[in-house]
Each structure stands twice: as C-alpha cells, then as structure tokens.
Chains A and B, each alone.
Chain A
Amino acid sequence: EADIYQTPRYLVIGTGKKITLECSQTMGHDKMYWYQQDPGMELHLIHYSYGVNSTEKGDLSSESTVSRIRTEHFPLTLESARPSHTSQYLCASSDSLQGLKLFFGSGTQLSVL
C-alpha cells in the first residue's frame, strides 16, 4: 500500500513565519506533486517534479517554493506565511510503472493567524 508521509498533520502559525511542509515517499517514485485544497473544494496543482533537481510550477500561482534534492523527499516552503495561505496541502507521488496511479499523503492542514 501507499507509503507517502506528510508532516506536520496540522500547523497553526502566525503571520510572517517561515514554514516548511515535509513530504516523503518510500516507493522510489520519480514524480511528485503538491496540491492545495480548501475543504471539499477543488484541487489546485501548485508544484510538481519529474525527478531529482527537476521542479516546475503548477497551474495555480503560489508564493511557495519546492526542492527535490533526493528522490524520496519533496518539501514545500513558505518564506513568509499569510492568512491567505490557510488551506490543506496535499502531497502526491506517481510512477509510470504503477499504471499512472497517484498516491496521496494524508495532507497538512495549515492555519495562518
């Protein structure tokens, strides 16, 4: 079954703080993604990576940045959090050998006060 982990599960912070949302997968998948989702609402792709040292911005403009130094790790960073960043952030990975199936982490619920 899926082995993709996100931490923290919940995060409440003040405006202006720098935060990093962690995402790790142990399946050796080359593709990883970050989505932003408000409760019950649509998913927006904000970043994706097709491999180490490869990162691209998604369809939704985001002030966050990502890095992919290792295959298993795809952290997302907000340099200065604002209330408008309050949302759920979902990390996912996929491997074409797995039949294009996406594996999702359990998400990080971020609240910026």
Chain B
Amino acid sequence: GNSVTQMEGPVTLSEEAFLTINCTYTATGYPSLFWYVQYPGEGLQLLLKATKADDKGSNKGFEATYRKETTSFHLEKGSVQVSDSAVYFCALRDKIIFGKGTRLHILP
C-alpha cells in the first residue's frame, strides 16, 4: 500500500541555518504530496503542496520539489528562524497518509 517515510527527529539547528527534512514515498501512480506544519499548541496547517511530478511547492520560504525519479518530496529552507520551530509532516494523497512527523528546534 501507499506509505510515507520521513527522517527521524528531532532536528536542532541554529538560526539562519539551511534546513532539509527528507521525505520519500511509496505509491501507485503519482499522488499529490503535501507538507503540513504543527506549531506548538496549534492545529495542523497546510504548508505547501505539489500535485504532479516536477512541481515545486513553496510557502513562507519553504520549498519542496516532487521528484518521481527518487520518489521524494524533501522540504528545504535556506535560512530558518526561531519561529519555524514546529513539527513537520509529509503527507500523500490517497486517504491522506501522513509520515511520522519531524520535530524541528531552532536555537536563537
């Protein structure tokens, strides 16, 4: 069946560091892919999405490119801020299947 695998957390970075959170998927066909973010004490929010191969989703300085060759949708940001500290979930559209989430800590 379809599944999503994302890197284990927590990830701890200094402010202004470069961020990559890896996400790979297993699916039949080419499902839509998503990154959701959960800030402390808040509900889940859609961060970005890509609906077909080679699409790049972007929002709030975050980017992810849908790569069918490597079945990946890695999340990247060039310069993280303390306010980016949250749990990030990679997700795949089918019944909307989520990865385990990656907790990110940004140190000032």
Which of chain A's residues has its CB closest to B93's CB?
A100
A107 CB → nearest B CB, Å: 6
B31 CB → nearest A CB, Å: 10
Q: Mark B53-86, 1 if CB is under 8 A from A, else 0.
A: 0000000000000000000000000000000000
Kindly identify which residue among A40, A45, A94 contacts B98, using a CB–CB cutoff of 8 Å: A45
A32 CB → nearest B CB, Å: 11
Across-interface contacts of B89 in A (CB, < 8 A): 42-43
A binding-site residues for B, Cβ under 8 Å:
33, 35, 40-45, 48, 56, 58-59, 90, 92, 94, 99-102, 104-107
The reply on B51 being an interface residue by CB < 8 A is yes
Cα-based distance from A43 to B37 in the complex (angstroms)? 12
Whether B44 lies near A104 (C-beta < 8 A) is yes
Kindly identify which residue among B32, B38, B97, B101 contacts A100, using a CB–CB cutoff of 8 Å: B32
Whether A48 lies near B95 (C-beta < 8 A) is yes
Cα-based distance from A90 to B91 in the complex (angstroms)? 15
Kindly identify which residue among A42, A48, A94, A102 contacts B99, using a CB–CB cutoff of 8 Å: A42
Cα-based distance from A59 to B99 in the complex (angstroms)? 12
19 A-B contact pairs sorted by A residue (CB < 8 Å)? A33-B96, A35-B98, A40-B38, A41-B101, A42-B98, A42-B101, A43-B89, A43-B98, A45-B98, A48-B96, A59-B95, A90-B44, A99-B51, A100-B32, A102-B44, A102-B46, A102-B96, A104-B45, A107-B43
Count of chain B residues near A, Cβ 8 A: 23
Q: With A48-B95, A90-B44, A92-B44 given, can you name 8 additional A-B contacts, CB distance below 8 Å?
A: A42-B99, A42-B101, A59-B1, A90-B43, A99-B51, A100-B93, A104-B43, A107-B43
- Of B87, B91, B95, B100, chain A has the most CB atoms within 10 Å of the CB of B95
B44 CB → nearest A CB, Å: 5
Cα-based distance from A57 to B96 in the complex (angstroms)? 13
Whether B97 lies near A59 (C-beta < 8 A) is yes
